[in-house]
Structure 1
């Protein structure tokens, strides 16, 4: 039980640069999960259309739950984003998507499709044991995540930049985070946050 601790280790206004640095960290994982987690909030019609083109198999939903005024049942978004008229799609916004993909399939296109909303790419894995820092990898907690247009892994602090996080054990592991940040020529940019 529990959550990882996520440390911010790189920040930039260039989404491609953030993704490139996340890939450099991902390469250091000793083990990697078979799936990549993609999430995004879509604020504009253009954002929704770009993301639907990148993730045609994904299920899109309302970013904020909507309730039928009569039945009080939760409403599901079921519109075909690519076929809907702008005037019909606009009132349905904001939308959200959570989708799992095979590594190396759509991530680069996902990064280019990110609009103004918060988005993330996460990859679970296991950091190698490091006796120098007395750090031991834990597959349940370790990994790399890049947050677009956001400063925290809880998506509560929208920003005009992108932040790369390293996830480590549930008790935190600042020495490992510092070493991973140094690999990027950076430093740890803030305290540990509650991760996945």
Structure 2
């Protein structure tokens, strides 16, 4: 199947502005998947509690694999963060969450609960065919993603801003990305990255 190509099309230090622009692009998708991907790296105990309140049924895990106490395998991934005391949770940080929700349910609350860690919301679907750019929508690859506190869809480094990406096809589609960036009043902000 491969990966999509994701082009950065908008950046802001304002989390609400970045989310709003992502929603504007999402409205242009011809088809929308029935799930939204929510991912976050939580770096403080307060971040964990805020996100757990938004996603009470989500599974939280160590952000990076850890060797278990025997030294022969990996520690159990799932963490019962609701029952653990703050003093026991602190050494487990950072923790991560990946959770899928129906569209238009908790995304706004997720955005309000973001802490300092990198996070993202993935809105997949299919772009309409566009004769002007000679672009064809591909449901396996198309969509919008906003990366909070970062400028890389692969979360390699944190940043002091939030970046909106458009995912366009397996081989990339710069003309479509440019048209989508122009819709937001800007331009493509960098090279294509390997997306979902």
- Partners of 1:60 and 1:131 lie apart in 2 by 44
- Partners of 1:64 and 1:75 lie apart in 2 by 10
Partner of 1:100: 100
Alignment size in residue pairs: 196
Partner of 1:144: 144
Contact 1:53 1:82 in 2 (8 A): no
- Partners of 2:147 and 2:119 lie apart in 1 by 6
- How far off its partner does 1:123 sit? 1.0
Partner of 2:191: 191
Contact 2:59 2:79 in 1 (8 A): no
- Partners of 1:79 and 1:141 lie apart in 2 by 32
Q: Any idea what the Cα deviations from partners look like across 1:132-156, whole Å, max 9, x if unmatched? A: 1101100011000000011111100
Question: Greater shift after overlay, 100-109 or 79-88?
Answer: 79-88
Gaps of at least 5 residues in structure 2 are none
Secondary structure at the residue paired with 2:146?
A: strand
- How far off its partner does 1:158 sit? 1.1
Partner of 1:166: 166
- Partners of 1:82 and 1:70 lie apart in 2 by 26
- How far off its partner does 1:67 sit? 1.6
Gaps of at least 5 residues in structure 1 are none
- RMSD after superposition: 1.1
- Partners of 1:57 and 1:87 lie apart in 2 by 22
Partner of 1:70: 70
Contact 2:37 2:100 in 1 (8 A): yes
Contact 1:29 1:143 in 2 (8 A): yes
- Partners of 1:4 and 1:152 lie apart in 2 by 14
Q: Any idea what the Cα deviations from partners look like across 1:63-83, whole Å, max 9, x if unmatched? A: 011121316232225544244
Partner of 1:13: 13
Partner of 1:43: 43
- Partners of 1:87 and 1:69 lie apart in 2 by 20
TM-score between both structures, scaled by the size of structure 2:
0.97
- How far off its partner does 1:84 sit? 2.9
- How far off its partner does 1:17 sit? 0.9
Contact 2:5 2:168 in 1 (8 A): yes
